[in-house]
Amino acid sequence: MRMTERTLIIIKPDGIQRRLVGEIIQRFENKAAKIVAAKFMQVPEELSRKVYAVHKGKPFFEPLTKLLSSSPVLVIVWEARNVIDITRKIIGATSGFEAQMGTIRGDFSCSTRYNLVHSSDSPESAEYEINLFFRPDEIVDYELTDEKWLYCEND
């Protein structure tokens, strides 16, 4: 059986400015991801630098962190079986030009920087990134009633 996991996604400033919040959330819900925490916020630059710490030293680090702090974002923790892999497939490749049509970036982004959504890329980064934005008591444990219609015993 696939593991129930949590991941963090950030609808970045360009996603908010382009009014794509509903469209983006819908795609994760379509694939049975469940919201367990959410925050609409302006990200302080210090926090942006922590989110993107793995990219420190790369030429795009400064513009990337400045962009994340330039305008509000929506940060969401999603829970589902295999959700880290699923969200990355839904979002698509980093560049909007490379991303497959049908993915969020493939359908809406024409840029590497303005690529609308960030998501954790591994269980370790999910834990690190969730902890940057949420205290444990801000994450809600609850059941949705459709699970028996989503998964079978071999999943």
Residues identified as active-site: 118
Residue with tokens 């382009």: 18
First-residue to last-residue Cα distance in the chain = 5
Our finding on whether 94 is near ligand CMP (CB under 6 A) is yes
Candidate residues 38, 118, 120, 130; the one interacting with ligand CMP per rule CB under 6 A:
118
Instruction: Give CA–CA dist 65/119, Å, rounded.
Output: 15
Instruction: Give CA–CA dist 57/31, Å, rounded.
Output: 36
Task: Please say which residue, 71 or 147, places its beta carbon nearer to ligand CMP.
Answer: 71
Our finding on whether 103 is near ligand CMP (CB under 6 A) is no
Our finding on whether 113 is near ligand CMP (CB under 6 A) is yes
Instruction: Give CA–CA dist 154/106, Å, rounded.
Output: 32
Q: Which stretch binds ligand CMP (CB under 6 A): 22-30, 72-80, 113-121, 122-130?
A: 113-121
Instruction: Give CA–CA dist 148/43, Å, rounded.
Output: 38
Which of the residues 23 through 82 are near ligand CMP (CB under 6 A)? 55, 60, 64
Kindly list the residues in this chain that would bind ligand CMP in the complex (CB under 6 A): 55, 60, 64, 94, 112-113, 115, 118
